[in-house]
Chains A and B, each alone.
Chain A
Amino acid sequence: MRIALVGNPNSGKTALFNLLTGSRQKVANYPGVTVEKKSGQLKISQSETWELLDLPGAYSFDTESPDEMVARDICLGNMPEEKKPDFIVCVADATNLRLHLRFALEVKSLGLPMVIALNMSDSAERRGIRIDVQQLEAELGVPVIPTVAVKRDGADKLLDALKSQSVYAPSTTNLDLDVHAEVNRILDRTVHMPDRTSNLDDRIDRIALHPVLGLAVLAITMFFMFQAVFSWATPFMDAIDFGIGALGGFFEETLPDGPLRSLLVEGIIAGVGSVIIFLPQILLLFLFILILEESGYLPRAAFLLDRLMLGAGLSGRSFIPLLSSFACAIPGIMATRTIQDPRDRIATILVAPLMTCSARLPVYTLLIAAFIPNQTVLGIFNLGGLTLFGLYIAGILSAMLVAYVMKKVRPKLDGQSLLLELPSYRFPNVRDIVIGLWERARLFLARVGKVILAITIVLWALSTYPTPPAEWTGSMIDYSIAGRIGHSIEWLFAPIGFNWQICIALIPGLAAREVAVSALGTVYAISASIEDPSGALLPIISTEWGLATGLSLLVWYIFAPQCLATLAVMQKETRSWRVVGIAVAYLFGLAYLASFLTFQAFS
């Protein structure tokens, strides 16, 4: 048996899916589109399990949106490689029936066996909404079963109905019906509603959507979120750092010196470790975004900032993905799935790498310490701090500029569209948060895991082979392929002030930006066993490089797409090499131009 869950966005459909399937879920993409396919197993008896599909939320089947088209095509059996479901569970929010019944009528007109799950029937009751379920069944001609997806036993009646298949009376269909009139007629007969919206929602929204207070609440929320992401993640990151060090040390001692040990310790463990270390930050970020999403606040943030983002050629929905990108562009790009408009989504993905991610911080810290004098400006500000702030601002401003240019180059044909529903506030459900977090963590690891492994192995090989002869006096990496590439591209980077040492370090630095710091250490032949390689690097670069070179490299890192994992995720999320090509071209272009101007201005 194959059952499909359909329903409006915000009907609690996914919560019901989580309740019915628990952890027995699979997330993939439908072939050929970037629409998420969620399927799970529904245990019917000891021996029997059915397949349950959580179809993308839909307002209507009369649509051009990819999500809704997938939902429709699956129900109709028009999706290649997807079996038509045996019956449909249409989830409707009992507190929002005017909208959700309209869609239920559309689903009914497909003529498939179905049952309506009248979800959130507890909050409807609390708000004094009385629904005559029997009358509703009679009017619709399909079974209607009240459910509470956030309660453990909230779907028992639905489950009973599914098991005793007698309830799937095939529905009568009437395609010519005026659905709006029909909904109003049914509502008049079956639903008594004291208020149109919940009082609590009205009261929260008076503050949350207030032009001044609302922005203040948003700013405070974001501030705390980031504070928490960075401070709570620190102990975990330290632990991972320690673990990676211990693991490397273990193999260093147990394995004989040779290529295998080098590959394992300097290649895989160090390389993969340099990315895994950001996992705590990324997971915390996902956690906060999930809580904001589940509680209903996220669309409010989009509402508040839409006009501002629109001015730059983006949309209010771009806000959270771009905000996430300050920790790491990868979760940011993955979060763009909440942007329905394909053009807005691509634009957001393209500018996400311009947000200053935390992997840039080690590079910035080193260069600022080496080249920016430690002095106080205007009495209270530290020049280094101001420089760092300036680098963040430069990223944001250039993102706005790039998005604006994209808007001008390719304006939208059918006008700007927001059409955003602001759902009722809800207390986030622990089960849904845990399942959601697990899902995203798994997706993140699947997305970057193999790519990172492959990248680190290739980059290790490039910077290790060929091994230098015994009489070689320079550093190992200098003799390697990476070293030779570094030397051979020196002419290209000379106009922006990069010496051959920097050119070499840029290559292993493609794994993650902060790897450039340790790679520079390798180039300058600082022993890896030194406790604080960037501390040892500091005096070398501040005496050997000129100020212009240091600043030029700082500026380079605002723009340069020095992270192959980001590019890989970009490709997987958009299924387009063209988007990746555009990103690489414009980011390198901007990086080169900005570094050139900086170098020429300061030398």
Chain B
Amino acid sequence: MILSDLKLGERAQIASVTEYGKGDLVSRRLRNLGFVTGEEVVCVAKGPFGGDPLLFQIGFTRFALRKEEAGRVAIVTR
């Protein structure tokens, strides 16, 4: 499952961040912001137009990601 599939209010754990080609800045950025294996994420809001971007709570911080960015993050739900 990927992060962009997460429903509103649903919790999951991050499995991995996929790199789109070498030197993918977005995936590097995601990891630097704390999207790393084992962290818990919650989808807390969705944008008004087509449910994009998505708002995730990770740690104590909320980040808005576009679906395309969230698609890089593989997750597992329990």
Contacts and interface: CB of A to CB of B under 8 A. Distances in A.
Given A60-B32, A62-B28, A306-B47, A418 B69 contact: yes
Given A197-B57, A205-B44, A307-B49, A421 B63 contact: yes
A421 B29 contact: no
Nearest to A212: B48
A419 interface: yes
Residue from B28, B36, B61 with most neighbouring chain A CB atoms (10 Å): B61
22 contacts: A59-B29, A60-B29, A60-B33, A99-B33, A99-B34, A99-B59, A99-B60, A99-B61, A102-B34, A197-B62, A205-B44, A205-B45, A214-B48, A303-B45, A306-B47, A307-B48, A414-B26, A415-B26, A419-B30, A419-B33, A421-B62, A421-B64
B60 A211 contact: no
Nearest to B32: A60
B49 A193 contact: no
A205 B43 CA distance: 13
Contacts of A546: none
Contact of B68 (A59, A197, A415): A415
B30 to A, nearest CB: 7
Contacts of A416: 66, 68-69
Contacts of A310: 66
Contact of B47 (A304, A414, A421): A304
B63 A307 contact: no
B47 A307 contact: yes
A124 to B, nearest CB: 10
Interface string B38-53: 0100001111111011
Nearest to A60: B32
B32 A414 contact: no
Given A209-B55, A215-B48, A306-B53, A417 B64 contact: no
A428 B63 CA distance: 22
Nearest to B33: A59
Interface stretch (A15-23, A90-98, A262-270, A518-526): A90-98
Main secondary structure of the interface of B (DSSP, over half): mixed
B20 to A, nearest CB: 7
A62 B32 contact: yes
A122 B59 CA distance: 20
A28 interface: no
Nearest to A308: B49
A450 interface: no
B19 to A, nearest CB: 12
Nearest to B36: A180
Given A205-B45, A303-B53, A419-B29, A197 B66 contact: no
Interface in B1-49: 20, 24-26, 28-30, 32-34, 36, 39, 44-49
A196 B60 contact: yes
A171 B69 CA distance: 36
Contacts of B62: 197, 421-422
A342 B55 CA distance: 23
Interface residues on A, range: 35 or more
Contacts of A316: 53
A421 to B, nearest CB: 6
Contact of B60 (A97, A209, A414): A97
The 5 closest A-B pairs by CB, nearest first: A98-B59, A211-B48, A307-B49, A60-B32, A420-B64
B26 A417 contact: yes
Interface residues of B, number: 33
Interface in A289-312: 299, 302-304, 306-308, 310
A418 B60 contact: no
Nearest to B37: A180
Contacts of B24: 414
A180 B20 CA distance: 22
A64 interface: yes
A310 B48 CA distance: 13
Contacts of A209: 45, 55
A187 to B, nearest CB: 9
A419 B60 contact: no
Given A302-B64, A421-B63, A422-B63, 9 more contacts: A98-B60, A180-B39, A205-B45, A212-B48, A303-B55, A306-B53, A307-B48, A415-B26, A419-B64
B44 to A, nearest CB: 7
Contacts of B25: 64, 414, 417
A215 B49 CA distance: 10
B11 to A, nearest CB: 12
B74 interface: no
A98 B40 CA distance: 12
B50 A307 contact: yes
Contact of B52 (A62, A96, A302, A307): A307
Interface string A54-88: 00000110111000000000000000000000000
B47 A303 contact: yes
Contacts of B53: 303, 306-307, 316, 418, 420
A419 B47 contact: no
Most interface-central of B49, B50, B53, B60 (chain A CB within 10 A)? B60
Contacts of B39: 180
B75 to A, nearest CB: 16
Contacts of A62: 28, 32
A98 B61 CA distance: 8
Interface string A178-212: 00100000000000010011000000010001011
